[in-house]
Structure 1
Amino acid sequence: MKNQDIFQRAQESIPGGVNSPVRAFKSVGGTPRFIAKANGAYIWDVEGTQYIDYLGSWGPAIVGHSHPEVVKAVQDAAVNGLSFGAPTEGEVILAEKICALLPSIEQVRLVSSGTEATMSAIRLARGATNRRKIIKFEGCYHGHSDSLLVKAGSGLLTFGNPSSSGVPQEFVSHTIVLEYNNLDAVQQAFNEVGNDIACVIVEPIAGNMNLIKPKAGFLEGLRELCTQHGALLIFDEVMTGFRAGPKGVQGLTGIKPDLTTLAKVIGGGMPVGAFGGRKDIMQHIAPMGAVYQAGTLSGNPVSVAAGLKTLEILNRPGFYEQLSATTATLVKGLKEKAAKHGVTFSADSVGGMFGIYFRSEVPTTFAEVQESDTKAFNVFFHAMLDEGVHLAPSAFEAGFVSACHNEEILTKTFDAADKAFAKVAAM
C-alpha cells in the first residue's frame, strides 16, 4: 500500500484525511507519511521506508519509541483492564510523583489531553479569583478550547478576535493577546484592567511558534506582576514539562507558577494530561469547590502505567545530561552544514527540544518567527524526508530528540542535511 493511496482513501472518511491538521502537510506540500511502526529513534511508513524521527509524537517519545520497559508496563496494565471509571492506586502514585518532581505543584488533577488541562486551569483561575479576563501571548498555543483560539487585536490592548470559525466573538471577548517577550505590554494591560485579570497563561519556553526562549527578566516580570495584582501565573508546560529539563522550565529558571499544565511526556506516548498547583487554589475544584471539571478517562490505568515508567527512566542518573548534549550537538552540526552552503540559517535548543529557523538570528517573538524563509524550509523539509529524516511538517514547530538518538544517527542526519542545504542553496 502506498502513502498516496491511503491519503486519498482517508479523505473520503476523515476531513482532510487526517485527525490533526498539521499532519496533512498543507504548509509544506506533498503527501503525508502514514506510519506503520516505530522503534527507538526510527519510524517506518506503510511503504516500509525508514526515517530518523525528530518529531517524537510531538514530544512524548523522550525515551525513544517502543521502549521495552514502557511497552511492558502498558501490557501489564492492559491485562487488568483498559478503563474503570473509578479511582486506582496508579493515578495516586503518578500524582505523588508529579508533586515530588515539580515543587510548585502541591496538588494535581489528571485529565486526558493538554487541551483539557489548559482549559481546566483557566476555568480554575477564573473561579479562584472571581475575575473574567485572561492574558495569553501571540504564537503560544494552549489547545483548541474556544477562549484560546484567538488572534491578536489591532492595538496593544485590543481584545482578541476568533482565529477559528465556530468560535463566537463573545467567547474570546475576555482574552487579551500580547506579544511574547514584551513585558511592557503586560504592565500596561495590568495598569488598564488589572483588577479583572484572572491569570496570565504562557509557554515559559514556546514550542508552538517554533522554539522561542524567554528574554532575560520576562518570566520574572510576569511572576512579579501577577503577584502584585492578584492574578494567577499559569505555566503551560504541556510541551516543556520533563522535556526542557527534569523539573521543566520552572526548574531551569527557579520561577514558581501558581498553576502548571502538563501532558505528553507524563503519558509516555499514551493520552494523558494534568493541571496542578498550590493547594489553596486546587481546593476550588469539584468535589472540594465550585469549579467543575470531570472526565471518564481521567487517570486511565494504561496511560498512567506508561507515564510512571517513562518518568522513572528519565530520572535515572545522566539522562538529561546526555539528552541535552545530543540535542546541542545536533543544532551545532546543522548550523555548520548550513554555513558550508551559504544558507541563511540559525538554530537553538534546550533539553531535548530544538528549533531551526531560516533567518540569520534566532527569533524572540512571533513576528520574528514569521520572517523566516518558509520556501527554504519547505525545500529543506522534503530534501531531508527524501534522505530518510523525518522533521515536523511546519516551519513553525519545534523538533524533538530522544535518548535513542546517538552519534551514528547524528552522523546520518548531518549527511542528509549536507545534501538538503545544497538543494536550498540552489533554489
Structure 2
Amino acid sequence: MSPERPAVGDLFRRFRERLAVEGPARPGEPGGHALKAGAPNGSRAVGTGAGVARTDVGAAEAGLAPQPPRDVPPVERRRGRRRGGGGEQLTVPPAEFTSYYGRPILKAPVWKCDIAAYLFTGGLAAGSSLLAAGGQLTGRPALRRAGRVTSLAAVSASAYFLVNDLGRPSRFHHMLRVAKLTSPMSMGTWILTTFGPAAGVAAVAEAAPWLPDRGVLGIGRRLLPPVGHAAGLVAAVTAPALATYTGVLLADTAVPSWHEAYPELPTIFAGSALASGAGVGLLAAPPAQAGPARRLAVAGAALELWGSHRVEHRLGLLSEPYATGTAGRLLRAGRALTAAGVAGALVGRRSRVLSALSGGALLAAAVCTRFGIFHGGVASAKDPKYTVVPQRERARRRENQEPHISGPGAGPNGG
C-alpha cells in the first residue's frame, strides 16, 4: 500500500518554514531559485515544484543537478553559438524570407518541357518558311523544297506540343471562339491557325511532279504549283508573327526574368528562328544553292547574340537566372554553337560536309537558346528574391521621386 499523503495544511506549514529559512524566490527564476547562506560558492538549484526554492543540498536529496552561480561563465557549445567567445547562446537562426504563410510568393509556371519544345518548333517552322520563300523567289528548288517540308513538319510538331500541354484538343478549338488583340495567347492561336494550312498546302505542292499527267490527278499536277507558290508566300508573311509572338507571350507573364526582358525576348526568338531556318538550308541544299541560307544565318545570329547579351547584362539581379544553373549552361552552349555555325557557313561555301555541320550547329544552338530562356524564367519564379528585391527597389525609387511637402503652408489648413 502506498504511504499516506500529508495534509494540505502540513505542506503549507512546511513551505512557510522553508521560506523563512531560505528566503523568498528571486523574480524571473523558474521554479524559484534562491541562495542559501553557507552554501558553497553561493550555487543555486532548481526545485521540482512551482514556487519551491531549494539549495544544493536539497537538490542532491531530490536527485537534481545544482545550478551554477551567476559569476561562472556558461559552458561553450559547438552549435548555435556566436563566434568570438562568450555571450548568450544563439537560439533563433537568421531569418530568410521565402514565402507568405508557407505559400510561395509567385506560383512557378506549370508549363513543362512541351512548351519549351513548342517554342523551338514554332521558330523552326517560321524560319523554314522564310527560307522556302527565298528559294522560291530566287529560283532555288532544293532550298524551297527543304524549307516547305521542314515548315510543315515543324508546325505539326508545334500543334502537338501545344495540345499536349493543354490536355485536351478541344481547348485549342475553344480559343478560336474569340480574337483578342491584347492577348498574346489568343493572337498566337490565330497565327498558328493561319500559318499551318498555308504551310501544309505549300508542302503538298512539292508532290506535284509525282502525279500523272492525265486525268483528275493531272489537273492537280497543273494546279498545285501556282497554289503552292501563293500559299508559301502567305506562310512567309505570317512567319515573323509566329516567330516572335512566343517571346511576347512569355514577357506578358508575371515571371520576373521573362517580364523584365520584354524588349529582348521577341528579338532573341526572331534571331533563333532565322538561324534555325538557315540551318535547314545548309543541311539540305547543295552549297551552290545555299547562298540565302548563309545570309539568313548571319542575320539570325546577329539578332540572337545581341538579344542574349542584353538579357544577361541589362536586367541587373534578374539577369542572374540566365547566367547560372541549367539556363546559364544552355545559353552559353547556344552562343558557342551559333558562332561556330556562322563561321562554318561562311568558310565552307564549297564544302557540303562543312555546310551540313554548320547547319546542325545552328539547329542545336536554337534548341539550347529556347530551352535556356525557358529554364531561366522558371528559376526566377521559384526563388522569392527575384520578386521581392526588384519590388523593393522600385518602391524605393518611387519614394525618392515623390516631392517631400513640409514647412509652413503644408498642412490642410495652411498652418
Q: Under TM normalisation by the shorter chain, which class is it?
A: under 0.3
Higher helix share: 2
TM-score by length of 1: 0.22
Computing the radius of gyration from Cα coordinates, the structure with the larger value is 2
Larger RCO (CA under 8 A, 6+ residues apart): 1
TM-score by length of 2: 0.22
Higher strand share: 1
